[in-house]
Amino acid sequence: MNWIKSYLKNSSLRELQNNIDKIKKNNSYRSWIGFNIYNGKIYSVKFYYTFYQVLSQSEINSLFITGNSNDFYDLYKYASLNDILRVRDAGSGITFSVKVNNNGESSFGFYLKQVFNDNDEFFVIPETKEYFARGGNITNIDFVKNSSVFYTQNLKEIKDYYYIKDPVYKQIIAEFFDEPMLSKVPVIEYAVGKGNRDNSDDMLSKRKAILFGDFKETADYYLNNWKDVKTIVNPFFNKGYQIYCPAIYGDKKFYSIYLFNFAKDSRLIEELLKI
């Protein structure tokens, strides 16, 4: 796994790691790694640190290696604390992250679950309109979303992640992506935002579906289709890592893989940094 060393040397990642180390963590803290893949090659590597606990203002401020912590507090007003503290729930916790692309350029950001209402953008996107056109019921909508804010140089990018459980809505996304597997998983974490193609006007490039459920089944399915990814992830499998969930973009030009080591998931990145 020598190739990953160049990513691990990133100064922003090292700074965040150093500040993370100073915070007293409860037993549910964990970290993991993800890869964005484009044309069969790594586009960026993503490092995640998640706390399932209430952090003090000074602790939160210390983790903002760039950007503006006021953005965090603006979202925290609407935070769903029950969802943040629910360890096994999809997208729960308070997460801080550094993404490093293959040119060594990095961005920093955070993820925070919050409650939304019927004035949210979710209700104006075409997929939701189609859901109601097919008889969808508002009572089947989970009014909790995960919002991310990332800072890249002078840019701030915001993306929302919605939790889709209703079979009708999942089928709509499956048709939209032309990806049948999406209708079969228990939960789709559905991302709406610019993503990797900042200048693209293609709506499909701004949609990402993260598959939660039977992780082995979905991982095996996609690894059989993403032959080139096996070369990337096999060394991690040999060290006890497992695919937590795959993800695909609507235009199918990008896809993602997220890896945990369930025996050491509270120290995954720390272990990688020792390489």
- pLDDT for res 101: 93
Q: At residue 268, does pLDDT exceed 80?
A: no
Instruction: Provide the mean pLDDT of the chain.
Output: 87
State pLDDT tens for residues 155-213. 899 999 999 999 999 999 999 999 998 998 999 999 998 654 455 556 777 899 999 87
Tell me which of 115 and 2 has the higher pLDDT: 115
Q: What percent of the chain is predicted at pLDDT more than 90?
A: 55
State pLDDT tens for residues 65-100. 999 999 999 999 998 788 778 776 777 889 999 999
Q: What percent of the chain is predicted at pLDDT more than 70?
A: 92
Q: Which of 9-18, 45-54, 79-88, 244-253 has the lowest mean pLDDT?
A: 79-88
What residues does each domain of the chain span? 2-272
- pLDDT for res 76: 93
Greatest mean pLDDT among 41-45, 61-65, 111-115, 240-244 lies in 61-65
CB neighbour burial string for 225-244, b if at least 16 within 10 angstroms, e if fewer: ebeebeebbeebeeeebbbb
Q: How confident is the model at residue 267 (pLDDT cuts 50, 70, 90)?
A: confident
The single-letter code of the amino acid at 20 is: I
Q: At residue 251, does pLDDT exceed 60?
A: yes
Q: How far apart are CA 83 and CA 104, in angstroms?
A: 34
Beta strand pairing call for 155-164 and 187-192 = antiparallel
Q: How far apart are CA 273 and CA 90, in angstroms?
A: 26
Q: At residue 264, does pLDDT exceed 50?
A: yes
State pLDDT tens for residues 119-149. 999 999 999 999 999 999 999 999 999 999 9
Q: Which of 92-101, 103-112, 233-242 has the lowest mean pLDDT?
A: 233-242
- pLDDT for res 99: 96
Paired tokens of 17? 């790691």
- pLDDT for res 34: 93
Q: Which helix (H) or strand (E) holds 126?
A: helix 126-133
CB 223 within 8 A of CB 176: no
